[in-house]
């Protein structure tokens, strides 16, 4: 049963073929079996998960009408607060912290009867593209344990690929849902900014951060999106509008007559040939289903990475000032409050977090503000305009999700300039606040590792991504004869 | 600079480091600059970290300084993807954390208050 989709699991639960306790236990057993190799989880909540599952089973027995995902297990990225459950953000700074409140995403998961298995590994405070920046050690890609699972949400995507959970929550500031999905052969969606509440999401870069669904199929992601999405008065940047009809769109999957825009600037140099080949084959499949493929140009995208690495560190340097050793988290040393802050932040933050705080502090300092942060904000405007113009020519825009397949653990750990390039195709959507989805496009011929196909849609038109994603997924699975993860290596032999 | 991608080619940087020992950079962040930034950011960095970071920051700043090329005076800045306005709510009593819950993660507390190290000087 653990190899099925969340939608299939939900159907089996509804039909009484399996109980939520049995389904939850099967996933906990899989975690016990494979997580010593994968290290997707920072915390497994055995008792909490089973007690949630028991409550759902009892409700179902009593004949209450339950939401679609009731009783299905999920893995939660460790950047989301869950009351009483350790939340570290992959940092020593928050080791042992048990938040006194639920994030809105967790509240909605609980309302929907989704069973939370535990917290997944991530780059510290969501800063990274490989999960190597976790203070608790890296997560390993289930396709090849010597390789990275992407980041920052590598734990969530690896948990899906290792069948430790059928659903997961991620957060995406520059690609942290989509790039891990791409390199693990899973599906990940960054909804429109403001589409899912940020209340209880530990802030990295507040104007870019967005929580979203991770799954193994497009339809599963859609169900999770509807469960967690929608207006929340606890988040002042939450959009007060209904969730776009993403489940209906995923079920429809009809792309006939849709215009699909290929972004010229997001291909070519720097992209692995096998990744590009899969991307082009995917385009062909969409064309065969009646979509019209057009080429569009977004000339300011070349500046997106530069703008992002000013805006995100600037906001991070401000947001992470809250870790001051006074109200929660680590406290180190003695002396004055300032001494204690200095010592605690030195001991509690890892290398990448410090690098970005210092970079942001520099970009925001007087004398440099206009040249760096101010200019980056202008580039942000230019990128949004590029998107507006491109969406006049196409219903959705597409690109490879990440330029390469998964690289080796350690390969880029000491080279931030190379590491940041992983997000070159995902960052523009964060800057513009629009939605982006990644789904598997196949296995690259050079290395047999998964690659991702990215679909982008205008703000609050997230359903378009699901329609196109679902159409492509159906065509690809029928071509392969099985879901992509059926060809992943078997884990847990040790 | 690899103009096609708007980002320096990491291999070129690595190669330059190998042959020249040090890359010639436009941005030059000194060790003292980094020490000052670390002070502002309240991080007690080690000497080793300061050395390392001044070199890294110079490379990163060279890469990101490109934003200045297209940021003309006629382009308005975007600070946020949504048009933001203040959100108000009625000033009503509503459920909140208990003092015990609010203090549950505190490194130290006393009499329902956060206990912090000395903030003010002796005088």
ipTM of the complex: 0.93
CB atoms within 10 A of CB A128: 32
Map out the domains of chain A as residue ranges: 6-302+377-487
User: Is residue B110 in a domain?
Assistant: no
Nearest Cα to A435, choosing from A129, A80, A77, A172?
A172
Number of domains in chain B: 1
- Long-range Cβ contact pairs of A59-64 (< 8 A, separation 24 or more): A59/A113, A60/A13, A60/A20
Q: Is A333 left (phi over 0), alpha (psi -120 to 50) or beta?
A: left
- pLDDT at residue B20 in the model: 41
Mean pLDDT of A414-423: 90
Bridge partner list, A262: A295, A398
Structural domain boundaries, residue B62: 10-69
Task: Establish whether A438 is a catalytic residue.
Answer: no
Q: State yes or no: is A259 an active-site residue.
A: no
Asked whether residue B46 is domain-assigned, the answer is yes
Q: Which of A331, A362, A380 sits opposite B37 (nearest CB)?
A: A362
**B37, A342 Cβ separation under 8 angstroms:** no
Question: Do B82 and A193 make contact, defined as CB atoms within 8 angstroms?
Answer: yes
Mean pLDDT across B82-89 = 82
Nearest CA in chain B to A210: B81
Q: Tell me the C-alpha distance between A16 and A433, whole Å.
A: 42
CB contact under 8 A, B43 and A97: no
Contacts of B102 in chain A (CB under 8 A): 100
A259 vs A92: CA distance, rounded Å: 47
Does residue B72 have a pLDDT over 80?
Answer: yes
Range scoring the smallest mean pLDDT among A373-377, A411-415, B110-114:
A411-415
What contacts A263, CB < 8 A, 6 or more positions away? A296, A297, A298, A301, A390, A397, A398, A399
B88, closest residue in chain A (CA to CA): A236
Q: Testing the interface with A: which of B49, B94, B110, B117 to mutate, by most A Cβ within 10 A? A: B117
Assess if residue B104 is contained within a domain: no
Residue A205: active-site member: no
- Regarding the domain delimited by A6-302+377-487, which CATH topology (the fold level of the hierarchy) does it fall under? Amidase signature (AS) enzymes (3.90.1300)
Helix %, strand %, coil % for chain B, to 5? 40, 5, 55
What pLDDT does A206 receive? 96
Averaged pLDDT, A171-192: 98
- Chain A residues with CB under 8 Å of B61 CB are 359, 362, 372
Contact A172, A95 (CB under 8 A): no
Q: Which of A207, A236, A328 sits opposite B106 (nearest CB)?
A: A328
- The partner residue sitting opposite B66, judged by closest CB among A233, A303, A380, is A303
Give domain status of residue B114, yes or no: no
Would you say residue B33 lies in a domain? yes
Mean pLDDT for B40-62 is: 94
Q: Which chain A residues have a beta carbon less than 8 Å from that of B115?
A: none
Percent of chain A with pLDDT over 70: 100
What part of A 378-397 touches B (C-beta under 8 Å)? 378-382, 384
> For residue B25, what pLDDT is reported?
59
Does B17 have pLDDT greater than 70? Answer: no
Residue A241, chain B, CB below 8 Å: the answer is no
Residue among B33, B69, B105 whose CB faces A329 most closely? B105
> pLDDT tens-digit profile of A91-134?
999 999 999 999 999 999 999 999 999 999 999 999 999 999 99
Half-sphere exposure of residue B73, counting CA atoms within 13 Å on the CB side?
A: 0
């Amino acid at each position: 049963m653990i190899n099925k989709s969340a939608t299939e699991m939900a159907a089996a639960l509804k039909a009484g073929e399996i109980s939520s306790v049995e389904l939850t236990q099967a996933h906990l057993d899989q975690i016990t079996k494979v997580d010593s190799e994968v290290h997707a989880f920072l915390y497994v909540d055995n008792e909490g998960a089973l007690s949630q599952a028991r409550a759902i089973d009892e409700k179902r027995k009593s004949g209450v009408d339950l939401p679609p995902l009731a009783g299905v297990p999920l893995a939660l990225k460790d950047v989301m607060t869950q009351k009483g459950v350790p939340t570290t953000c992959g940092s020593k700074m928050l080791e042992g912290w048990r938040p006194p409140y639920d994030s809105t995403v967790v509240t909605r998961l609980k309302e929907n009867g989704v069973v939370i298995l535990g917290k997944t590994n991530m780059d510290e405070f969501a800063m990274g593209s490989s999960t190597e920046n976790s203070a608790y050690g890296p997560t390993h890609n289930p396709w090849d344990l010597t390789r990275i699972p992407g980041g920052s949400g590598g734990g969530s995507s690896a948990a899906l690929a290792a069948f430790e959970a059928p659903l997961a929550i991620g957060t995406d500031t520059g690609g942290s849902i989509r790039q891990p999905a791409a390199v693990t052969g899973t599906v990940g969606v960054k909804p429109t900014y403001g589409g899912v509440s940020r209340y209880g999401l530990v802030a990295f870069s507040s104007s870019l951060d967005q929580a979203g669904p991770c799954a193994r199929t497009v339809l599963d992601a859609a169900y999770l999106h509807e469960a967690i999405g929608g207006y929340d008065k606890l988040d002042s940047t939450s959009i007060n509008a209904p969730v776009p009809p993403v489940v209906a769109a995923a079920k429809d999957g009809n792309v006939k007559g849709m215009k699909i825009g290929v972004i010229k600037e997001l291909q070519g140099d720097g992209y692995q040939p096998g990744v590009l080949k899969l991307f082009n084959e995917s385009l062909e499949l969409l064309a065969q289903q009646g979509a019209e493929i057009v080429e569009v140009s977004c000339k300011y995208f070349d500046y997106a990475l530069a703008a992002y690495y000013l805006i995100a560190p600037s906001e991070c340097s401000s947001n992470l000032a809250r870790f001051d050793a006074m109200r929660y988290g680590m406290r180190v040393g003695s002396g004055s409050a300032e001494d204690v802050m200095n010592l605690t932040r030195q001991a509690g933050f890892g290398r990448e977090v410090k690098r970005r705080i210092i970079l942001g502090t520099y970009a925001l300092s007087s004398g440099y503000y206009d040249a760096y942060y101010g200019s980056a904000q202008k580039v942000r405007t230019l990128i949004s305009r590029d998107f507006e113009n491109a969406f006049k020519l196409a219903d959705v825009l597409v690109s490879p999700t990440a330029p390469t397949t998964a690289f080796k653990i350690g390969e880029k750990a000491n080279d931030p300039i190379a590491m940041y390039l992983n997000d070159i195709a995902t960052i523009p959507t964060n800057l513009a606040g629009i939605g982006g989805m990644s789904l598997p496009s196949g296995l690259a011929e050079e290395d047999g590792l998964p690659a991702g196909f990215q679909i982008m849609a205008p703000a609050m038109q997230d359903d378009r991504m699901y329609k196109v994603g679902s159409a492509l997924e159906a065509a690809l699975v029928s071509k392969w004869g099985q879901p992509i993860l059926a060809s992943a290596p078997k884990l847990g032999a040790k | 600079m690899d103009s096609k991608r708007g980002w320096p080619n990491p291999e070129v940087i690595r190669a330059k480091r190998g042959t020249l020992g040090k890359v010639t950079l436009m941005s030059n962040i000194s060790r003292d600059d980094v020490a000052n930034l670390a002070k502002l950011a309240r991080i007690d960095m080690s000497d080793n970290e300061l050395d390392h970071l001044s070199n890294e920051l110079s490379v990163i700043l060279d890469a990101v300084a490109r934003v200045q090329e297209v940021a003309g005076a006629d382009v308005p800045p975007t600070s946020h993807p949504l048009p933001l306005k203040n959100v108000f709510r009625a000033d009503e009593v509503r459920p909140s954390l208990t003092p015990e819950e609010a203090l549950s993660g505190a490194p130290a507390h006393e009499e329902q208050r956060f206990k912090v190290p000395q903030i003010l000087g002796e005088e």
